[in-house]
Amino acid sequence: MAKFVYRMQNILELKQKMESQEKMAFAIANAKLLEEQNKLQELIIRKSEYEVQLKQASEGTINLRRIQQIKSSIERMKVSIRDQMFAIRKAQKELDVVRMRLDAVMKDRKTHENLREHALEEFKEEAARQENKEIDELVSFTYGSKDE
């Protein structure tokens, strides 16, 4: 029996490689987004710590220099938090772009796999027809030999 050879196998393999590359890019972009979100959490925690320090510095003996330093630190944290939110939006947009590319590559690979499956089914049907033809010829030959 003949062996099935898909004539566009190299294209299918290329699509599979492209998909794995896009999956890696997606994982990297996702990790970047998580890293940026963690940075934001750390900044928010630091800001709240400064606010607690400000509250403590406002009680008891008041040290104006210390209070001004803490207020300045809180303002810097607000700016850093705003900048970090921009970084998160940028990372999210990059993740969305990579996700769209991954979806497109996955659809393309799936299309080629479907074409391969269709070609395999046609090959099996043709092989079955060929086998039936050979059986018919063998039966005809056997039947014709008995008559003689």
Q: How would DSSP label each residue in the chain?
A: -PPP--TTHHHHHHHHHHHHHHHHHHHHHHHHHHHHHHHHHHHHHHHHHHHHHHHHHHSSS--HHHHHHHHHHHHHHHHHHHHHHHHHHHHHHHHHHHHHHHHHHHHHHHHHHHHHHHHHHHHHHHHHHHHHHHHHHHHHHHHHHHH-
Does residue 146 register a pLDDT over 80? no
Confidence at 145, pLDDT banded by 50, 70, 90: low
- Is there a domain that residue 98 lies in? yes
User: What is the CATH classification number for the domain harbouring 135?
Assistant: 1.10.287.1700
- Is there a domain that residue 119 lies in? yes
- Is there a domain that residue 147 lies in? no
The CB density around residue 105, as the number of other CB atoms within 10 Å, is 19
- Is there a domain that residue 20 lies in? yes
- Is there a domain that residue 137 lies in? yes
Does residue 95 register a pLDDT over 60? yes
What pLDDT, on the 0 to 100 scale, is given for residue 138?
Answer: 83
- Is there a domain that residue 48 lies in? yes
- Is there a domain that residue 56 lies in? yes
Q: What is the pLDDT of residues 39-85, one digit of tens each?
A: 999 999 999 999 999 999 888 888 899 999 999 999 999 999 999 99
Q: Which residues span the domain enclosing 89?
A: 10-141
What pLDDT, on the 0 to 100 scale, is given for residue 75?
Answer: 97
Q: How many domains does the chain have?
A: 1
Range name among 1-5, 85-89, 115-119 with the lowest pLDDT average: 1-5
- Tell me the mean pLDDT in the region 77-103: 97
Does residue 38 register a pLDDT over 90? yes
- Is there a domain that residue 49 lies in? yes
